[in-house]
Amino acid sequence: MATELKNLRSEEERRMEELKMTEETAMSMVANERAKVKTAMEAAEAANRLAEAEAKRRLNAEMKVLKESDSFSGQSIVRYRKYTVHEIEEGTDNFAESRKVGEGGYGPVFRGHLDHTSVAVKVLRPDAAQGRSQFHKEVEVLSCIRHPNMVLLLGACPEYGILVYEYMARGSLDDRLFRRGNTPPISWQLRFRIAAEIATGLLFLHQTKPEPIVHRDLKPGNVLLDQNYVSKISDVGLARLVPAVAENVTHYRVTSAAGTFCYIDPEYQQTGMLGVKSDVYSLGIMLLQLLTAKQPMGLAYYVEQAIEEGKFKDMLDPEVPDWPLEEAFSLAKLSLQCAELRRKDRPDLGKEVMPELNRLREMGEESLESVLFAGHGRMTHASQVSYTSVRFCI
């Protein structure tokens, strides 16, 4: 028994020794893993420090190049054509009344001829020199905006607060919708295309870097049409530019918000908080006007009520006899969503509004092509204008 106990004790001591060795091995492995992790973290931190240093070095180099280019010119770079007031007076026959083509909240507009080109001259104020430095800054931003659906700023006369734009032969969308001057009605196909073009130009502004440009005064009067009825947004940035050059201009203000009554985002009007969806509200009211050719006051309410009562067809512009009711109804529903009172309830311009407007535009273009190649080979005047416009646009 003594021998047996002795053997058992020896076996127990051997097992304990094995357990001790196993534990030491495990601890050693843990220590090794910790060392590897620490080394990896130190390497990552070193790489981050190197990346930050490289980014800082590049930024400093870019800033140095910009500073050197500015100092080389001896003044800030002017990206727009500067006209003298004498050149503009000569090109507009001294702002003759017969040359006047419009009167907006920002000032009168005259048709002129500068550099052998027809231009539109917008006079913000005759004493605009009081905000000259801010005027330079804002006009430089506007002159950099290039898009097929944006009216092109050709130049300016900073001393007198005068802007020179490309001339748009068909005038404003507002004038054409309400047929001022007894012009022919715009076909539904062309209205669908105009809707998509306005939204395309607006999306371009909203995607501007480093900060989006919010128009703040989007309305049919600020959408102009060229000879081929291609629509272009005008007066971009003027809601921000005008206070710098003419602090006492109040036409374009409603309470503290810049814009035009009936088109102003109600949430912006109440809170003063401006965002890209403020323009989406204005777009919604404009789209309803494209369908109805009615004044904007209470328009969203009247259209919504007509839909609920099953009388939507009665709201459509009667000057257009061949409305495609299903597509017009779809556009009306989208327009009402854009004109929701709460900003968070309005759809996203790029992801939700544009796909539907592009679908309607394509449908309108297909309709024009089918009209053109119909067996009778005849089109109405409005359809001919629309097809010509689409063909030129393509």
> Token digits for 319?
């000057």
Best CA proximity match to 187, nearest among 319, 295, 375: 319
The whole-angstrom separation of Cα 279 and Cα 264 is 8
- Taken in order 383, 388, 391, 394, the sign of the CA dihedral is negative
- The residue type at 321: P
**Which residues are tagged catalytic?**
217
Count Cα atoms within 13 angstroms, Cβ side, for 135: 22
Best CA proximity match to 387, nearest among 238, 251, 229, 262: 229
Give the DSSP letter string of 231-279: EEE--TTHHHHHHHH-TT--TTEETTEES-TTTS-HHHHHH----HHHH
- Taken in order 250, 172, 129, 205, the sign of the CA dihedral is positive
* Counts of helices then strands in the chain (DSSP H, E): 13, 11
**Spatial contact of 289 and 305, defined as CB atoms under 8 Å apart:** no
